[in-house]
Amino acid sequence: MSAQSRYRIFVDIGSAVTKAYLFDYQTKPPQLVEKQEATTLDQIGLVVKTLLKEFSLEPGFDSIAISLSPKVKEGLRNATKEEDSLRQLVEKFSKESNFLLLEVGAAKSWYGFGIDGTWRVNPVDYGLGKGVRQILNSISTEAKIARWLTAQVSLEEIGDYIGIKNIFPGQIPLKGSSLQIEQAVTREILAYIATEISLDWSKIDQVLLSGAVLCSVPDCRQTLSMFLDGIVPEGVCQIFSDQRGILPVLWSIDGNSLLSHLVNLGTVVVCSHNFTGGEVLGRVFLDIGLSEELEVILESGDLVRVPLATDQCCTMRVELASGVEVKGFNPQAEISGGELGLIFDMRGRPLRKPGLNEEGRRKVRQWQEALR
């Protein structure tokens, strides 16, 4: 196989950051060889030029594929718009699985899903970069954002940081409070998306998460926490994280190999109920191949993490109190582990959001600590 047919470069031009990816198509599935980021087209142009030279490739659209953020209007022909690339990706993967896809971007976010062979992709006009300020004028407030923080931060500081992020969308949070603010805004965007989608969670097997603030985080537990708090899922679903920021260019990859490029965080099991905190909801018995089943007591208001490696599976049987349900649970199905194993969410539905006080901050800290 010649270098020209073996390697291909994908360039994803975003509103805040542009990325270049080099894939090796000799492997099956194609593997990511190199990824680089830049804030300007001039910089990414030098990156692409270097890759072409290093891997003996000729410039041209046989070697380079370009996807564009919706904010990039004109100037590059033969490029694939981000919406089109996501549509191709969702359409392909819908033939393999029932799933939900969520991407929180800089200027715009997206959600898509495939259920029983039908699929859909929709944009959401909110992101964590340029234009983030409009979130405060429409779907959220400084107070709603503050309720997701583990320490007290003034509403003025929250508003100021969002204003700066609106002007400098590529700015990296330098303080712990800044990172928490960005992750709190992400929860609010996801909560808005949750109001836009009407899903039968009993049919969702997998959730694919993407976006820098959502997935490129210091600890993958933060990714899972944002998803659980924002979307508030139900049922049993396996969670995959796009930690390398590669999802926008995976539209050229076969659907059944897409998950190999993502990080398997584990499986979430949600007990739907409206009990008050501290009540026993039932018990779960996990068969993980030991001499005895592992028993987990389910109490309302709790999050519980059970370690189970990525290459491990288990079966589960449940004994639930009246009024408690795990939607779509199949006792015959195997449940897969992951980086975080199995996560049981017993906080009830609808989720009671934390208050804007010390008790609320204590609850947020408790939820996040439970995932460790």
* Beta-carbon contacts of residue 178 (< 8 Å; ≥ 6 apart): 161
Give the integer Cα–Cα distance in Å for 334 and 82: 35
Length of the chain: 372
pLDDT tens-digit map of 253-302:
766 678 989 999 999 999 999 998 889 999 999 999 889 999 999 999 99
At 104, give phi and psi (nearest 5°).
-105, 110
What is the architecture of the domain spanning 3-78? 2-Layer Sandwich (3.30)
Cβ–Cβ under 8 Å, residues 233 and 70: no
The segment(s) of the chain belonging to CATH 3.30.420.40 are 3-78
Helix (H) or strand (E) holding 93: helix 82-93
What's the confidence (pLDDT) of residue 78?
Answer: 52
What are the DSSP E strand ranges found in 170-214?
Answer: 206-210
Q: Looking at residue 114, what is its pLDDT? A: 95
Measured CA distances, 20 to 34, 242, 371 (Å): 8, 16, 33
**Segments of the chain scoring below 50 in pLDDT:** 61, 72-75
What region does 206 belong to: left with phi over 0, alpha with psi -120 to 50, or beta? beta
Q: Contact, 190 vs 132, CB < 8 A?
A: no
Nearest to 35 by CA among 222, 212, 259, 173: 212
Q: Cα separation of 84 and 107, whole Å?
A: 17
Judged on CB neighbours under 10 Å (0-12, 13-18, 19+), 218 is exposed
Return the pLDDT at 106: 87
Alpha-carbon distance of 93 to 95, in angstroms, equals 5
200 strand-pairing partners: none
* Res 176: pLDDT: 84
Structure confidence at residue 66 (pLDDT)? 63
The answer to whether 275 touches 281, Cβ cutoff 8 Å, is: yes
Contact 19, 243 (CB under 8 A): no
Whole-angstrom CA distances from 131 to 108, 163, 169, 276 are 9, 9, 9, 39
pTM, full prediction: 0.87
Q: Looking at the DSSP assignment, which residues form a beta bridge with residue 208?
A: 101, 240
